[in-house]
Amino acid sequence: MTTRLLQNNAEDIALAGALLRGGEIVGMPTETVYGLGCDAGNADAVRKVFAAKGRPADNPLIVHIAALADWAPLVREIPPLAEQLAARFWPGPLTVILPRTDRIPAVTAGGLDTVGVRFPAHPVAQAMIRAAGVPVAAPSGNRSGSPSPTTSAHMLADMDGRIPAIVEGGSCLCGVESTVIQLEGADTVRVLRPGFVTPEQLRTVAANVIVDDAVLAQISPDTVVRSPGMKYKHYAPNAAVTLVQGGRAAFLRFMDTHRGAGVYALCFDADVPECEAAGIACVPYGDTDEERAAAFFARLRELDAEGAAHIYVRAPRTDGVGLAVYNRLIRAAGYDIADAGTF
Ligand code: AMP
Ligand code: MG
């Protein structure tokens, strides 16, 4: 199978819709990352997505809708807090988990009795879902374990020959996957996966926002977790990755003692002059948490293409969107975290 790159025009969107309706997989750009879209209600199509990704069967897919009214048939009940969150953050990078109806096959839900639903903001994703006429299940469009794709070229690198088509949608603005939340009682939100919608923003709607322990911790594979994706190796490039905590001076001292062939610093933009002055090979990934979220998956892939052996990443903060970046990076690093303060 050759994978076609479709464009954002009426003819190609109609073709993407027909492929989806016909049980095929189509690469879908969203504001978070590119996803592997399929008809969420078609168990055979969903199985193909798991196979194309190499994804463990117990890791559920998020279901995407393009109209608020399409949510109700998928879930048993929409509590007032869920409605308020949707009103504030949809369309956008927030996934809300609720008990599912039979419209969602068990395979889509990874065998759970719940389903995570999201209304994406990306116009191409919305057009594809409308053209399909069905809710579209879509996990991130990478091979399981690899960095998520934030461009069509990155998705093609992982999926060429495995799926019939990808729709071009430009570079993803957020660059990190959606914030995944569960509701607990009438006024509490639990963040299972941090994303562009931050705990601080969720607190403007929900009285209590809990960040699940698994967001910043290492989970052993046999632990029972609320969100199965939290326990798997994730987001990792071929190069070894170490997350380095500390300020600029400490990071530079650390890099000075970790020089070597194929060693790169993935640093903040403002670190570049000092890295260069010290002769440290460096690639910047942004100066704000938002910039770093948008860039770091692409930078990891680019460094792999350069043949990097070891990438030392200057750790972002763990507030705001930084929490989402930190959460991905500790997994990309296989929890190898160094404290530059001790050097
Ligand atoms: P991805 O498809 O790569 O964006 O990953 C989706 C993430 O959402 C994974 O970490 C899943 O475990 C999580 N997720 C999706 N649906 C559910 C659900 N019903 N319950 C708990 N976690 C979910
Ligand atoms: Mg993923």
pLDDT in tens, 244-298: 999 999 999 999 999 999 999 999 999 999 999 999 999 999 999 999 999 999 9
Task: Report H helices in 174-321.
Answer: 199-202, 248-256, 272-277, 289-305
Rounded to the nearest angstrom, the distance between the alpha carbon of 44 and the centre of ligand 1 is: 19
Cα 290 to ligand 1 centre (Å): 22
Q: What is the mean pLDDT of residues 120-146?
A: 97
Above 60 in pLDDT, residue 64? yes
What is the CATH topology of the domain spanning 4-215? DHBP synthase (3.90.870)
Query: For residues 218 and 284, which has the higher predicted lDDT (pLDDT)?
Result: 284
The two structure tokens encoding residue 174 = 């957020």
More confident residue, 144 or 68: 68
Q: What mean pLDDT do residues 85-92 have?
A: 98
Q: What separation in Å is there between the alpha carbon of 144 and the centre of ligand 2?
A: 7
97 close to ligand 1 (CB < 6 Angstrom): yes
User: Domain 240-339 falls in which CATH fold?
Assistant: Rossmann fold (3.40.50)
Residue partners of 305: CB distance under 8 A and separation at least 6: none
- Is a pLDDT exceeding 60 seen at residue 343? no
Q: Residue 182's pLDDT is what?
A: 98
Q: Please tell me the predicted confidence (pLDDT) of residue 224.
A: 76
Distance, in Å, from the CA atom of 179 to the CA atom of 38, rounded to the nearest integer, reads 21
**Atom 19, ligand 1: which residue's CA is nearest?**
115
How far, in Å, is the centroid of ligand 1 from the Cα of 43? Answer: 17
Per-residue pLDDT at 220: 75
- Is the pLDDT at 342 greater than 80? The verdict is no
d(CA 315, CA 249): 13
Beta strand pairing status for 179-184 and 94-99? parallel
**CATH 3.90.870.10 residue ranges for the chain:** 4-215
- 170-197 average pLDDT score: 97
Domain with CATH 3.40.50.11030 in the chain: 240-339
Question: What's the mean pLDDT in 54-76?
Answer: 97
User: Which atom of ligand 1 is the closest one to the Cα of 140?
Assistant: 3
Residue 74 beta carbon below 6 angstroms from any ligand 1 atom: no
Q: What is the pLDDT of residue 128?
A: 98
Average pLDDT, the chain: 96
